[in-house]
Structure formats: C-alpha cells, structure tokens
Amino acid sequence: MLSKKSAAIHSSPVRELLKFSKEPGFISLAGGIPATDMIDVEGIDSVIKEILAEDHRDVFQYSVTEGEQPLRESIAVWSKKSGLTLDPQQILITNGSQQGIDLLNRVFLEKDDVVLVERPTYLAALQLFDYTEAIVEELVYQDENIDLAVLETRLAAGGVKMLYLIPTFGNPTGRVIENAERAEIVKLAHRYQVVIVEDDPYGHLAFTTERRESFFSLAQKLYGDDHNVCYMSSFSKIFSPGLRLGWLALPEKFLMAIIVAKQALDLHTSTLNQHIAARYISSGRIDERIALLKETYEQRRDWLIESLQRHLGDAITFNRPEGGMFLWCHLKSGINASRLLEACVMEKVVFVPGEVFFAENPELNSLRLSYSMLTQERANEAGVRIARALQAISS
C-alpha cells in the first residue's frame, strides 16, 4: 500500500536503541532538545493571561498563511538587535524550522537536483532531501574550513540547486562558519545562482560576545533584495519547542511560491501560539530568557567536558563549542560509536552515534553528546557510565 518512497524508509537501529532513553534511570545525552527546566512556564502563563484578558476572540480564529502581523513585526524589531535588518513582509511564520526546510525543499528541489551540505549535518534535513529524491553531496573541507576552491569548481560544473548550511553552532558539530568564509560563499552562490538555505536555530545561544553576520544580511548588503539566501530560525531552542514556531526570511521574489506551498500544506501556523510568541518578544522576556539559557548551557557544557576528561581521558576527543547544545566527539580510532552505544544502553546512558549525520562515508568513531539537560551530578555520572561501557567493549 505504501508509496515506493515511504516503503523504502526504515526506522534505524539507532532510533530503536534511543527508545530506551525514556526509561527510568537512564541519562540521555541524545536528544537535541532544549532543557525542560529552562522553559519559562511563568512567563508563558502571564502572556497567555494578558491575551485572554483582552478578550481576543481572533486568536482562536483562522489566520493568514504568512503569519500574524504582530509576530512578524516583533521578529523584525527583535532581529535588528542581532544585526539582521528585516521587513516584516519578508517574514513567513512556520511550524518550527523543520517546516521551513520542508517548504524550501518543495519549492526549490526536484528529483536529482544536487544539494550541498556540511559534513556532517542535521539528520532530519537529510531525511527530507531523501523524500525529495535530491542528490546530497557533502562539502569538501581543508582543515576545519570549507574548501572554497573545490566549492567553486563544483558549482561551475552545474546541477547544484541548493546549499544547506547551519553556519552558527551547527547540529551536530557546534561548528561556526566564520564571517570571511560566509561572504565568499554568498558571492559564489550568487555567481552560480544557487539557493542558500541558512538554518539558524542555535545562533542566539552564543556563549561569547563574538558575532557572526548572517548569510542573509551579507547577501542583502551585496545584492539588495536580488539575492538567493533563505534564512530560517526557530523559537524551539530559545522559548518552547512544543509551541512549534519558527520563521523564514526570504527575498521577495521567493515569497509567494512559499506562501502558496504552506497554504497547501496546513493553511497557517497556530494563531494563538503566534500571539503568545509576539508578546513574549515585545515584552522583552525573550532577551532575559536567552541570557539565562546561555549562562546555563555554558555551565552544562563545562560540566560535561570536565566529566569526559576525568573519566575517559584521551580515549575521547571533542571540540569546545562557543554556543548551542552539542559536543561533537571522536573515540580513539577503531572504536565504533554504535557498538559503544549498545554497551552504554546496558549502563543506562545514551547518545547519538555520529554516523547518522553523514550523507556519505560516515566517521564511525564519532558521536554527538547533548549537554542541554544535564546537572553537574548527571554529567559526572554520564562520564562514569560511558567509561564503564568503553571498558566493557575494549576488554
């Protein structure tokens, strides 16, 4: 009964193992989810009360596909603080940035179009490209940076339709594409008329004061509104993932096609949820919350790093991300992270093996550890358990 496409997609063994993480006693470093204890329930409660006190019947009514105007305006005003100048009319509200990726996929890609992605990249984007039957190719790197000469040669050869990038504290690596490299990529994409999809759910969670300019902003400066960068971000990691709110910022020439695609998909994003977010931003609560999140996640990152250093020593190497939620790690060569995960399930600790984030030639000794949910005690215990599991598969 299933279409060929759906029939070909199977649940991965990793997904099966991660099911255990919900069981009592488990420590999960697997979920790419924000800290439940950091969701500002009181703030959300008071915003909802304000909305209802004003007898806003309209918030329970259908809305327009592009999104509620107060939210589009609040996002535009708020984005300016981080150096991104947007007209509210350029903004389209989505059900999380996952829907943003889906919409751009539908509007730009056809079977066999080539999408270039970082190595490694966000698993659920890879899954969407699979549905479209696009051909996914990984960018080539020189040291830690994208090799721009190889990129230019690839773009010049033709067939590339889209560059999908998570340039600030990416998932799974926590990596950053630096400003100079961003400008070069924008110019190349413009020269070869390739769409850049800039997926930015983590950029607001920076632990240092260093700021990167968005691809969207760089492209606007270089080419006015005649550019090909589609920016997307999300309220999931800075406010609440359960409200399912994200947004796209687009050059005008793409806007109508994407509005039509969203209309066909789900008409519009929840009206009430959009008003909650609009007030949460305009009241300034969001900035207070983000400041708290940054402090908390930086501390949790350090707890996890300390624990890994203490209990695993040189058996594991990792980066030190300047923001976001993930530690990207490598085990000593020859140790397979999926094999380690099996042993870790016995020890009641789980993570995501890095291999799932690669479009080709996976690094089998890589793993992603999320620190967003950790306490100091749990971070320490996670290290103890992983070390025991490692011992078990090494002996």
Ligand X SMILES: Cc1ncc(COP(=O)(O)O)c(C=O)c1O
**Among residues 98 and 105, whose Cβ is nearest to ligand X?**
98
**Among residues 347 and 358, whose Cβ is nearest to ligand X?**
358
The nearest distance, CB 384 to ligand X, in angstroms, is 28
Q: Which of 21, 244, 5 is nearest to 129 (CA)?
A: 5
Residue with the CB atom nearest ligand X in the bound state: 96
**Among residues 241 and 251, whose Cβ is nearest to ligand X?**
241
- Report d(CA 181, CA 202) in Å as an integer: 19
**Among residues 94 and 220, whose Cβ is nearest to ligand X?**
94
Range list of β-strands (E), the chain: 27-28, 91-94, 114-117, 135-138, 141-142, 145-146, 160-165, 195-199, 229-234, 246-249, 316-318, 326-331, 349-350, 352-353, 366-370
- Report d(CA 185, CA 154) in Å as an integer: 13
**Among residues 246 and 354, whose Cβ is nearest to ligand X?**
246
Provide CB contacts within 8 A for 235, sequence distance 6+: 241, 243, 245, 246, 277
**Among residues 365 and 370, whose Cβ is nearest to ligand X?**
370
The count of C-alpha atoms lying within 13 angstroms of the C-alpha of 188, restricted to the half-sphere facing its C-beta, is 24
The nearest distance, CB 123 to ligand X, in angstroms, is 9
The nearest distance, CB 173 to ligand X, in angstroms, is 11
Angle in degrees, 0-180, between the axes of helices 96-108 and 252-266, rounded to the nearest 10: 110
Whether 384 contacts 311, CB under 8 Å: yes
- Report d(CA 93, CA 225) in Å as an integer: 19
The nearest distance, CB 39 to ligand X, in angstroms, is 13
Helix (H/G/I), strand (E/B), else coil: 363: coil
**Among residues 269 and 307, whose Cβ is nearest to ligand X?**
269
The nearest distance, CB 30 to ligand X, in angstroms, is 12
The nearest distance, CB 53 to ligand X, in angstroms, is 29
**Among residues 236 and 366, whose Cβ is nearest to ligand X?**
236
The nearest distance, CB 79 to ligand X, in angstroms, is 16
Q: Which two tokens stand for residue 101?
A: 């990726």
Q: Which two tokens stand for residue 43?
A: 């703030």
Interaction site with ligand X (CB under 6 A): 32, 96-98, 122, 166, 171, 199, 201, 234, 236, 241, 246
Query: CA-CA-CA-CA torsion for 50, 53, 58, 60, nearest 10 degrees?
Result: 80
**Among residues 202 and 347, whose Cβ is nearest to ligand X?**
202
The nearest distance, CB 49 to ligand X, in angstroms, is 25
- Report d(CA 164, CA 195) in Å as an integer: 8
Whether 65 contacts 264, CB under 8 Å: no
The nearest distance, CB 362 to ligand X, in angstroms, is 18
